[in-house]
A and B are shown apart, each in its own frame.
Chain A
Amino acid sequence: MPNREFQGYVNVSQIMDQSMFTLRANLASTKIKAALKLAMSVALPKPGACATAGACTLAWMSPDELLIIAPSAEAQKLYSSLDTALSGLHVLLEDVSDARAKFILTGAHVREVLAKLAPMDTHPAQFPVGSFNRTRFAQVAGAVFMEKDDMISLICFRSVQDYVFALFSAAAAHGSEVFQ
Chain B
Amino acid sequence: MLILNCPYCGRDKDETELAAGGEAHLTRFGPGSSDQDFEGYLFGRANPKGLHFERWRCAAGCGKWFHAARCTATLEVFGTYKAQTLEPPRVIKDAITAKRPGWSWRNFS
List residues of A whose CB falls within 8 A of some B CB.
Answer: 47-48, 61-63, 65, 119-120, 133-136, 141
B61 on the interface (CB 8 Å rule)? Answer: yes
Residues of B within 8 A of A (CB): 8-11, 14, 16-17, 60-64
* Interface of chain B: mostly helix, strand, loop or mixed: loop
| Chain A residues within an 8 Å CB radius of B9 | 47-48, 62, 134
Do A61 and B62 have beta carbons less than 8 Å apart?
yes
Is A119 a contact partner of B8 (Cβ separation < 8 A)?
no
CB<8 Å pairs between A and B, sample of 28: A47-B8, A47-B9, A47-B10, A48-B9, A48-B10, A48-B11, A61-B62, A61-B63, A62-B62, A62-B63, A62-B64, A63-B8, A63-B62, A63-B64, A119-B14, A119-B16, A120-B14, A133-B11, A134-B9, A134-B60, A134-B61, A134-B62, A134-B63, A135-B17, A135-B60, A135-B61, A136-B16, A141-B60
Pair count A-B, CB < 8 A: 36
A61 to B61, CA, bound (A): 8
The A interface is mostly helix, strand or loop, or mixed, namely strand
Residues of B within 8 A of A134 (CB): 9, 60-63
Q: How far is the CB of B15 from chain A (nearest CB, A)?
A: 9
Q: How far is the CB of B6 from chain A (nearest CB, A)?
A: 10
